[in-house]
A and B are shown apart, each in its own frame.
Chain A
């Protein structure tokens, strides 16, 4: 058995291990150190997000019952061992519907954030880097978009695109373009004056190349914090649109729609309470993670 020195992390207990084992030990120890430094609230937030992502990826692992087809004689049952969160008016298991609904809410929020992030970052990047007339035009457009309340802006786009899960997600995303553009622009303006950007231009870099290699990566940290925040906001907005009936059509188990369907059975409070609590937890967690990302950026 060869005893390879394991570099600066080598200690008495590690000296006897083989190199791969020591490396693995180092990674594990590093992981524990990160965990120990993570505040419990933040760890909990990541746990919530990880759980709903798993729900979205493999709902069958978490809930065996059919989320769409119900059993007629088992309708409106209170929570029990067989139905953790009870059943709805068509005898569908509410827990299964919430688990299977994760994919609709999460993918909707993902589409929304992607649309807002891409369109907003490009607008802000060009405005901040080009300056001059382009900057003025883009920023007036941003002012205009910010002047219209986001819900009304989303509704306007939905009238244009039609109802549906994807359309609602795009509408929510387009409504967030302005805030991404404004933040990216201010970051780019900050980075643009830095010496290394001047140096990159001076050593013969073209406008787009310098933008891509130097300005964009250095502007992106706080934009990613905003993206995490927008993820929570998008889940709220998409569930609101679903509740109003402009998102996914029934019988899709989208969370907002679940709450809308449950409100007709006031005496069965669990039908609205359970999906609502899930939405609150996911949004709270996304906001908590966003705050930690924004804190790292500073």
Chain B
């Protein structure tokens, strides 16, 4: 058991190191020099000697492996370098933008879970065949909708035609209603798909028949026995969903003009600000690896059947 645990943690660390190395190679070693792009600008009136000096100050002249080791060392101590474009430490701009994105992503996730539960439970409870088929088709529609288009559509319908959500000077929570809705729709699709399949699978289990035979109503069996059991396997896609949430945040923040990690990433790409982009990539890979590690380690505790199967 301990050996398996250590092997799993070791594997996670290797993936993290590889993600850092890949992002370093792609963003720092290969591309055209972002420092030169900024300071070669003739408007700044810098002499070639001054440019060389700035270049050396950013450590661009040293051999690749020493740059790599230095970057790795500073990443491990939480120093993500300096944004070439904004001239501020990347750590500061991340710290300033992270809370907003986490709020958006967290609320989006919550809304997605509620939406997925509603769709899958309704499709199970309804006796109407057309409604059931319609609800079952919803997830494949939800994954096919571009998030940015959905965002624009929501603004057009709810802000401009129905005038339900103000666009001019909205409150801190009103501002989040439409972005959260736009973000939740594509995230809810894989959740609803897994839930529908699981609810059908759990319903055939003997304990459901026993609970029904003891006189429990269909609703109470569904909510007390079936839904908790059907929800558990969705944990396995938690890491993937996190990535989707982050990617969705980049797009929704751009559409709705919100400040956050997404806008920061989008500006970093537009300005070739590699330090910011690398920090965002490494942080999201870290979060993905940690979430998956946590799910792997916690799952046997939540579902004793798996722990038993492993012990055997």
Contact = CB atoms under 8 A, between A and B. Distances in A.
B19 interface: yes
Interface string B244-262: 1011001100110000000
B304 to A, nearest CB: 28
A240 B251 contact: yes
A276 B19 contact: no
Contacts of B246: 149, 151-152
Contacts of A143: 11, 15, 18
A209 interface: no
Contact of B153 (A149, A157, A276): A276
B26 interface: yes
B146 to A, nearest CB: 6
Given A159-B31, A159-B269, A240 B147 contact: yes
B277 A140 contact: no
Interface in B257-289: 265-266, 269-270, 272, 274, 277, 280-281, 284-285, 288-289
B145 A280 contact: yes
Interface residues of B, number: 48
B185 to A, nearest CB: 12
Contact of B14 (A140, A151, A239): A140
B247 to A, nearest CB: 4
Residue of B30, B143, B148, B280 ringed by the most chain A CB atoms within 10 A: B148
Nearest to B147: A240
B74 interface: no
B155 A156 contact: no
Contacts of B23: 148, 156
Contacts of A273: 153, 156
A88 B14 CA distance: 51
Interface in B280-300: 280-281, 284-285, 288-289
A266 B239 CA distance: 36
Nearest to A272: B152
Contacts of B255: 263
Main secondary structure of the interface of B (DSSP, over half): helix
B144 A232 contact: yes
A150 B243 contact: yes
A259 B251 contact: no
A42 interface: no
A87 interface: no
Given A144-B15, A150-B243, A156-B277, A245 B265 contact: no
A269 B153 CA distance: 8
A259 B254 CA distance: 14
Sort chain A's interface into a size bin. Answer: 35 or more
Interface string A130-149: 00000000001101110111
Contacts of B289: 147
A43 B185 CA distance: 27
A158 B269 CA distance: 8
Contacts of B11: 143
A236 interface: yes
Nearest to A260: B148
A109 interface: no
A101 B255 CA distance: 22
A166 B252 CA distance: 25
A160 B281 CA distance: 14
A80 interface: no
Contact of B18 (A144, A263, A266, A280): A144
A149 B284 CA distance: 7
Interface in B124-140: 140
A279 interface: yes
A147 B19 contact: yes
Contacts of A180: none
7 contacts: A147-B19, A160-B26, A160-B31, A243-B149, A276-B153, A280-B144, A283-B144
Interface of A: 140-141, 143-145, 147-153, 155-160, 232, 236, 239-240, 243-246, 256, 259-260, 263, 266-267, 269, 272-273, 276, 279-280, 283-284, 287-288
